C-alpha cells in the first residue's frame, strides 16, 4: 500500500536510528493513548500479540483500548535487541495491575518490520506475565514517558 504518511526515522536503520525508533515506541505506549499509538502503524499493519492476530489500525486501536482498560497504571521499558535494514527486534518489560490490585511484570520480545515511510507493517510479540508484590515494582515514575536517566532493562537486571 502506498501512503503519504511518514514516521521518521525510516529504513534502512543504523544503531542510532533504531534506538530512536524504539524509544519513540516506548514513549507512545507509555502515553496509553490508542489514538497516538496507532499512528506508528501502517493502515494494513499485521500483528501477532500473544495468541491474538490483528490486521489494520482499527483492530489495533480496539486492542489497545481493551489492553489499557485491563492493564492499569501501565509503565513500559523497551530495549533494542537487534536491527537490520527495515527490521528491529526489541525486548521489553512492563508493569501493571488489574482491577483487583494484583501487580504483574510482563516480559517479552517483539519483531518489527517497517515500510519505506517508517510505518510498522508487521509486529510479532511474545509476552509472559509474572505476578509481583507491589513492593517488588521497579517502574515507579509518574504515569507517562519514562524519565531520562531512568535505568534501562540491563541496568535493572531484566
Q: Which three cell numbers stand for residue 142?
A: 509518574
Q: Domain ranges in the chain?
A: 15-137
Strands 87-97 and 103-114: antiparallel
pLDDT tens figures, 23-65: 999 999 999 999 999 999 999 999 999 999 999 999 999 999 9
How far, in Å, CA of 20 to CA of 47, rounded? Answer: 21
Q: What does pLDDT average to over the chain?
A: 96
Q: What pTM value is reported for the model? A: 0.95
The pLDDT, as a whole number, for residue 98 is 98
The pLDDT, as a whole number, for residue 1 is 44
Q: What is the DSSP letter of 46?
A: E
3-state SS track over 86-112: CEEEEEEEEEEECCCCCEEEEEEEEEE
Architecture of domain 15-137: Roll (3.10)
Mean pLDDT, residues 2-15 taken together: 89
Q: How far is CA 20 from the centre of its chain?
A: 13
Amino acid at each position: 500500500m502506498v501512503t503519504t504518511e511518514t514516521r521518521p526515522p525510516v529504513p534502512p536503520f543504523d544503531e542510532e536510528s533504531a534506538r530512536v525508533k524504539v524509544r519513540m515506541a516506548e514513549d507512545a505506549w507509555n502515553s496509553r493513548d490508542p489514538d497516538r499509538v496507532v499512528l506508528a502503524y501502517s493502515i494494513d499493519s499485521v500483528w501477532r500479540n500473544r495468541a491474538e492476530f490483528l490486521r489494520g489500525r482499527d483492530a489495533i486501536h480496539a486492542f489497545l483500548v481493551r489492553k489499557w482498560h485491563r492493564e492499569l497504571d501501565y509503565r513500559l521499558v523497551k530495549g533494542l535487541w537487534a536491527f537490520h535494514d527495515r527490521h528491529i527486534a526489541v525486548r521489553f518489560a512492563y508493569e501493571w495491575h488489574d482491577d483487583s490490585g494484583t501487580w504483574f511484570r510482563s516480559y517479552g520480545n517483539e519483531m518489527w518490520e517497517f515500510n519505506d515511510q517508517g510505518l510498522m507493517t508487521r509486529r510479532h510479540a511474545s509476552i509472559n506475565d509474572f505476578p509481583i508484590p507491589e513492593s517488588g515494582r521497579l517502574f515507579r515514575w509518574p504515569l507517562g514517558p519514562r524519565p531520562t536517566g531512568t535505568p534501562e532493562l540491563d541496568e535493572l537486571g531484566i
